[in-house]
Amino acid sequence: MDFFKSKVVETLKKYNSILIVGPLPPPIGGISVHVNRLQKALNNSEVFNIYRYNDINVLYNLTKRILKNNYEVVHVHVYDVKILSLIFLLKIFKKYKIILTGHNSRVFDIVNGLNKTLLKRFIENSDMLIVVGEPVLEHYKKNKIKIPKSVIVESAFLPPDKKEEKKILKKYPEKLFDFLNTHKPILSSNAFRLDFYRGQDLYGLDLCIDLTYRLKKYFKNIGFIFAIGKEDYNKKYFDKMKKKIKELNLEKNFFFLEGSKQYWPIIKRSDIIFRCTNTDGGNSLTVKEALYFKKKVIASDAVKRPKGVIIFKNRDINDLYKKTILTIKELNLKN
């Protein structure tokens, strides 16, 4: 694969055997995609896929895997206190280094009590800490965590394997290609699942719908593709958004790509990519992927964004619309 030079990859290549503990697709999300690509970039690693097991079986099977093998490193991509407790406990019997990767810039906003205390201790006592952006590191410091001496701050982005594109396209519904062929311009965004942060739509699906409604007045054939990895999560809200689309007469202009489908081929076929999140890790995989394919990216100012991203005021539909119109004019996009 044609990988960017990655300090994380180069660091991990120095070890003989690594167990990566984290999710693999499906469902497709930022972390599961990163874990999948990281494992492919290394020839010294295997993945313990936490998505394969329920809460009890995950601990039992992880124990078996670690005790049966002699790993130099256990590299963890989840901050589940039960899993972390087990990994630190098993270190008594098996000598390995623990590397933690932090993907979430709000993890200490959603844990409390004993779990919060334990999580802090685990981070502080890891042999190496990797965080996917400065906002994650600042979040840890704000919560008075003593950062380990060995720390890497690096985006979770690793380029996709372009050789897989044909195989990925075969998994897309035929209706998607019809949509792509009959709409212009094509805008897109994605979400691992429909979730909320501080009472607001985390990924900004509502903003994407409102934006499409405003743009349709001038671009009758505009098309917005919104990819959702776990479409069955928060179904009540999803149904509410579908109803809103129908009420706004956008059914022919708004397309949901549901299920565990890779998003990057959609990025390649889009004119503008949106990241309307009201919080983020600072180095969003979607943003990095869009920039990699040299696409225009419009993202909220909820966190610091990479160079080249067009910024709009967080949760401000008027500013989002203004920045989108300017970008459409710059690209000279027409119906």
Share above pLDDT 90 across residues of the chain, in percent, rounded to a whole number: 88
For residue 22, give the 3-state DSSP assignment: strand
Q: What is the pTM of this model?
A: 0.85
| 7-153 matches 164-331 in fold | yes
Taking only the tens place, the pLDDT of each residue in 130-172 is: 999 888 999 999 999 999 999 999 989 999 999 999 999 999 9
Mean pLDDT of 41-52: 96
Closest by alpha carbon to 38, among 58, 10, 80, 16? 10
Q: How many CB atoms lie within 10 A of CB 315?
A: 17
Q: For 164-331, which CATH superfamily applies? A: Glycogen Phosphorylase B; (3.40.50.2000)
The pLDDT confidence band at residue 105, using thresholds 50, 70 and 90, is confident
Does 272 score more than 50 pLDDT? yes
Provide the CATH topology of domain 7-153.
Answer: Rossmann fold (3.40.50)
Q: Residue 187's closest CA among 210, 160, 166, 155?
A: 210
Measured between alpha carbons, how far is 206 from 224 in angstroms, rounded to an integer? 12
> Domain residue spans in the chain?
7-153, 164-331
Q: How far is CA 235 from CA 145, 182, 252, in A?
A: 36, 29, 21
